[in-house]
Structure 1
Amino acid sequence: MSLRVEQSLSQLLHEAFVSLRTLGKRSILALLGIVIGSSSVVALINIGHNASVDAAMIFKDMGTDTLVAQFPPKGASNVPMRTRLDLDAVRRAVPGIAHIGALSLFSGPIVFHGRSVNANLVGSTPGIEQAMRLALQQGRFLSGFDINETYAVIGADIAQALSAPGDPLQLGDRVRINDYLFLVVGLLHRQPRAMLMPVQANESLFMPAEGMRRIYAAPQVGNVIIRAAPGEDMERIARDTAAALTPQLVDHDVDIQVPQQMIDGMTRQSRTFAYLLLALGAISLVGGGVGVMNVMLMNVSERRREIGIRMALGARQRDIRNLFLLEAVTLTAVGALCGAVLGMTAAWLYAWLSGWTFALAAAALPLGVGSTLLVGLFFGIYPAVSASRLQPVEALRDE
């Protein structure tokens, strides 16, 4: 029994391929429409997935356990921000803070052996090293004992820009900022970009916060960076930190950014973007399905005598219906497989051109191929049913 079914199925497949081959260019055009639709679905799902992954990577290096506090003025107040904050009091008041540090930001030229480069000049407290995850290549970071010293820790890009062949910037060298010479006590490893950070370490020179007065008459605390202990509730720490900082600030508010909230919002936006791309791919796929239906209707019209002969020889309505339905699904299946390969190639090429790391979306192939087969089945039903409802006498009468 199973052998008979297998032979019958193989015979139907053979007849389907022979019939589709006789359609010639019309079959190829329908196949092309299915390939375009299937590849669109696969490619757009992958492109949306890779865009989401790339966007999430912006925040990954910063870490979801890091908070950034800003201090916008209240209302129309023009009172300058304070030059220092009692961060030890904040740390005592908020359990769960692992590291906390403050930044004062300025910019200006740095000169070394006649070479000059503009850089971010960052007045920092000792806790900034751990709060920002700064990694040292050589030397050490600034400590609490360096308050009155003209010491500097230099980012990788600035160190490279100040170096020359045979004359690299090294530990123990001195760089000039305005009229002051700063001793280089540390060189940073190249840091990954963290978009939420107020300053990029690679393009910065760090000095003791108190030393900012040497180059800027009225330095102000611009940001406070907080890094939480593992497993802590970030929203709770943000609320408690804002409450602890508020009494120290009379004319400024406390605005704390929680990266996880931004990541969740970006994930929702990326999901909406992916749905939009999927809808565009589905529209293209429906167009391909219409092409399949047109080809199958033409196929039925040209094979009316064949249908009549089959019925006269004992073929049942369901046999005729299944034959034409199998032809539609066969045409769609070939287009789905070709479209899947083309779509994956297009998605990889797009990711490569965009500078993204290509990651295969788990739903891309099943959804792309599956939806294509369903479209082929849906648009193949009407021609197949139309063929099965032909009367043998009317079919045989056609020339």
Structure 2
Amino acid sequence: MATGTPLRPARLRAGDVVKVGAVGLRTRPLRAFLSALGIAIGIAAMVGVVGISASSSAELNRMLDALGTNMLTVKPGSTMFGEDAELPLTAEPMVDRIEQVTDSSAIGTVDDANVYRTDLIPEGETNGLNVYAARPDLRGTVGAELASGTWLNEGTSRYPATVLGATAAERLGIGRASPQTQVLIGDTWFTVVGILEPAPLAPELDTAALVGWAAAEEELGFDGHATSIYTRSANEDVTEVRELLRPTANPEAPDEVDVTLPSEALAAQQAADETFTGLLLGLGAVALLVGGVGVANTMVISVLERRSEIGLRRSLGATRGQIRTQFLAESLLLSAMGGIGGAVLGSAVTAGYALYQEWPVVVPPWALLGGVAATLLIGGLAGLYPAIRASRLSPTEALAAP
């Protein structure tokens, strides 16, 4: 008796796998949407956190490029007995003589001088404001911008005129500089000729009233000692200048001089932001895991509800591998929907927040690709057990299911 060649089951092409996998999603759209939403929220959180952090870093780098990372600040430190040291009167001209220093300027703290909006405010309520004597070239050296009015010049530096830092003006309730606006500094009324924007590289200026060097000496009893000397040099000379500043500013006691690089504070801020970003990424990963559990739950319920369909397909010749492929493809499609939707949502959130803050919009491609890849991996793992369970159902058991 002749025996015929057994028929081989038809192979599912890639397009067929997608169509078969999409059947379960089309027949239960609300369930599929809610499961994909759980994945999308996790991916949107991850992409948004990475994108906002990258945009913030891009803005910080842009700001540093604009302001320059080549500014060094010389300040008095402490004596060997722990007392506050003082820069000598010769510190400014000596520092300016360093060959590699291209620009320098200084401020000096005016002790026992407070700033008030009127003379009716109690002396103890200083609002945390300081008074500094300032050189005319200070604004250009530290890269500060004017929000209103003008800066001190050789003429106004000799008269009772002041420029307020951004925070100082806000606390005093002064929005614009004008010849009619005056503040009481010590016992003298000073005309507010200018207001500064926030100064990232010299934040001490934000809470200060700045007056001319000569006016501070004549009107407020300033002793002439600089408390901060700001220097600029070429980027390649910063390290060398930093080594020269201590012995140059105070040759007799170089250990009593501190030299700081303001951009290091901004770099520390960036490091803190990166740590915070890592924490938020962890929370996003938890949200993604929760979404994966939702996909697994959806697929398990789908297998239980579609046992008759599985039995019919097995009776018509579908292999276990084809059943397994069908449900695994359904799980991957569900995850892909959530991943792509989350990537789009996260990018939109990043763009909206960055534009609101007036930052550059930066969404790293690796965050988008990594997010979608993570959803496919989680979707594959979440759908693997239900797919294997579906493939192990025998045709008779599946068709007998109610």
TM-score tier (shorter): 0.7 to 0.9
Say yes or no: does 1:239 pair with 2:243: yes
Structure 1 residues 110 and 249, CA gap change in structure 2 (3 angstroms): farther
Could you tell me the percent identity over the aligned residues?
A: 28
Name the aligned partner's letter for residue 123 of structure 1: A
Offset of residue 37 of structure 1: 1.9
Q: Residues 48 and 277 of structure 1 are in contact (CA less than 8 Å); yes or no, is this contact kept in structure 2?
A: no
Q: Distance in 2 between matches of 1:209 and 1:77?
A: 31
Q: Distance in 2 between matches of 1:156 and 1:190?
A: 5
Q: Residues 124 and 208 of structure 1 are in contact (CA less than 8 Å); yes or no, is this contact kept in structure 2?
A: yes
Query: Counterpart of 2:3?
Result: none
Offset of residue 323 of structure 1: 1.1
Name the aligned partner's letter for residue 235 of structure 1: T
Unaligned segments of structure 2, at least 5 residues:
1-9, 119-125
Query: Counterpart of 1:74?
Result: 79
Find the partner of 2:102 among 98, 102, 105.
98
Q: Distance in 1 between matches of 2:65 and 2:384?
A: 49
Pairing of 1:295-334 with structure 2 (within 5 A) = 295-334=298-337
Pairing of 1:46-195 with structure 2 (within 5 A) = 46-52=51-57, 62-78=67-83, 81-82=86-87, 84-93=89-98, 95-106=99-110, 107-109=113-115, 120-133=130-143, 141-143=152-154, 149-150=158-159, 152=161, 154-155=163-164, 168-169=178-179, 190-194=196-200
Query: Counterpart of 2:279?
Result: 276
Query: Counterpart of 2:123?
Result: none
Query: What's the TM-score, normalizing by structure 1?
Result: 0.76
Structure 1 residues 287 and 244, CA gap change in structure 2 (3 angstroms): same
Query: Counterpart of 1:43?
Result: 48
Structure 1 residues 349 and 125, CA gap change in structure 2 (3 angstroms): closer
Offset of residue 36 of structure 1: 2.3
Give the alignment's Cα RMSD to 1 decimal. Answer: 4.3
Structure 1 residues 237 and 164, CA gap change in structure 2 (3 angstroms): closer
Say yes or no: does 1:360 pair with 2:362: yes
Name the aligned partner's letter for residue 359 of structure 1: V
Structure 1 residues 99 and 44, CA gap change in structure 2 (3 angstroms): same
Q: Residues 43 and 371 of structure 2 are in contact (CA less than 8 Å); yes or no, is this contact kept in structure 1?
A: yes
Name the aligned partner's letter for residue 204 of structure 1: A
Structure 1 residues 255 and 82, CA gap change in structure 2 (3 angstroms): closer
Deviates more, 1:340-349 or 1:263-272: 340-349
Cα deviation 1:115-172 (Å, max 9, x = unaligned): xx997543234553432235688877545x999x44746358799989999x9429xx
Offset of residue 215 of structure 1: 0.6
Structure 1 residues 153 and 90, CA gap change in structure 2 (3 angstroms): same
Query: Counterpart of 2:293?
Result: 290
Q: Residues 87 and 249 of structure 2 are in contact (CA less than 8 Å); yes or no, is this contact kept in structure 1?
A: no
Unaligned segments of structure 1, at least 5 residues:
none
Structure 1 residues 321 and 243, CA gap change in structure 2 (3 angstroms): farther
Q: Distance in 2 between matches of 1:32 and 1:163?
A: 49
Q: Residues 56 and 263 of structure 1 are in contact (CA less than 8 Å); yes or no, is this contact kept in structure 2?
A: no
Query: What's the TM-score, normalizing by structure 2?
Result: 0.75
Cα deviation 1:30-64 (Å, max 9, x = unaligned): 23322322222223323433454566677666531
